[in-house]
Amino acid sequence: MNTIIFDYKIDFTEINSYNYDLDMLDIFQLKNVFKGHIFICFYVDDKRKRNFILLDTGILDYINQFDKLITYIDKGNKETFTVSSDYYSNSMNYIYNLENDILEIYETNSAIFNINCKYEVFKKAYKKFRKNTINELLFLYPKLQQNSAFNEYFCNNNFIK
């Protein structure tokens, strides 16, 4: 894979309609508020050929899980997983091969996809997505800056830098 692009979609109108007190929510409430879709597109040399993953779940939940995924692999773990908050949809396993820098991603519930990509490309694309998403949420919802859970999980770590 030469290019990996992460993107997301959240229904901001719905979030705004509830008038949440965003500075007071705990991590589980925050994950529940910012539900949406994460798209991960994997492109090869031929731009007409691509694979993609659609995560239909909480944006902050998966950012938190991808943080752990990157941390685990960087610390030498070769196999890990992510799972959606409903413990069924979007469950994926990851196997990393250090010798050729290949990250194998496969869906575990229905075996609907199996994607191989360069880990360093995946990691770089994820970090860019993470930084942009967190900064956008902070811009749209300034009260998140006062939320201790948001700061602990999404601002006060190495991924935002």
Q: What is the pTM of this model?
A: 0.89
The residue that leads in pLDDT, 18 or 91, is: 18
pLDDT, mean over the chain: 88
Domains of the chain: which residue ranges? Answer: 3-155
pLDDT, position 142: 96
What's the whole-number mean pLDDT along residues 24-31?
95
The residue that leads in pLDDT, 111 or 128, is: 128
Inform me whether the pLDDT recorded for 75 exceeds 70.
Answer: yes
> Which structure tokens are listed for 154?
């999404």
pLDDT, position 81: 84
Inform me whether the pLDDT recorded for 149 exceeds 60.
Answer: yes
Inform me whether the pLDDT recorded for 101 exceeds 70.
Answer: yes
What's the whole-number mean pLDDT along residues 91-112?
89
Inform me whether the pLDDT recorded for 161 exceeds 60.
Answer: no
